[in-house]
Structure 1
């Protein structure tokens, strides 16, 4: 199991919501960075778009949902907020994630119910975009990664 350490967050968009709702194709996202940044939202892109290594966490299913992106493991989402988008902008990430999109080509993203990777978990494999499962949806506290190749 490969885990990443805590780092940068966040970005958001309406076009990314198309991907999350199953409409459209692959999506390209902003370039990787270890700093907090407001980046352009992931936009619909032609097939073969590049992986950026982030998981995108969305506040709601709305097309203008606020979102944040994470590259490293996060033992506790306390202190993180949705910094891009409209619906949910400024809300806490902890216990407020409705949907996610894993744009990492090698690692599964594990979203946990409790802090420090405990309790119920919902795993997002590379390229997977959907609503979180009941039990973790809007009850999320931490994130880690598992290498799947």
Structure 2
């Protein structure tokens, strides 16, 4: 079973979310699905405990997660399908940047779709400079579109 997003119960507190970004590496990640996600299924606490003990792969949820900054508490929002103009969308989860506009405010991204590359465009309607995120790729946007992003398209890879 592939696992990407995991929920774990932290002693004496609420559930915490972890995303495995590589063997033995974890970073803060989306703890809940937003209205643009294909799936809202989350792993159980038992699955999370097993994953914490060793490397694991998670279920692909078909979203690209866009983040306001590189901070560990950065606001984020998941998207699927294509978005011709980010105007009107805001970061709905996280802390740093919560409520800020998505348009022209994305610093980094993570593609959690196993079959599609996500293309983040400089202009509306998929025009201008583009930065492509392949399945599983998580990084800061290229300088040509970092904090200058206006639309999102997908390219099927198979």
Q: Who is 2:80 aligned against? A: 71
- How many residues were matched structurally? 129
Q: Select the structure that is richer in strand.
A: 2
Q: Which has the higher contact order (CA 8 A, sep 6+)?
A: 1
Unaligned runs of 5+ in 1: 1-12
Q: Could you tell me the TM-score, scaled by structure 1's length? A: 0.75
- Return structure 1 stretches of 4+ with deviation > 2 angstroms: 13-16, 22-25, 27-35
Q: How does 1:88-107 map to 2 (within 5 A)?
A: 88-107=97-116
Q: How does 1:1-149 map to 2 (within 5 A)?
A: 15=18, 19=21, 23-24=25-26, 34=36, 46-149=55-158
> Could you list the per-position Cα deviations for residues 79-102 of structure 1 after superposition, in whole angstroms to 9, with x for gaps in the alignment?
000011100000000000000000
Unaligned runs of 5+ in 2: 1-15, 43-47
Q: Could you tell me the TM-score, scaled by structure 2's length? A: 0.71
Question: Is the 1:30–1:39 Cα contact (8 Å) retained in structure 2?
Answer: no
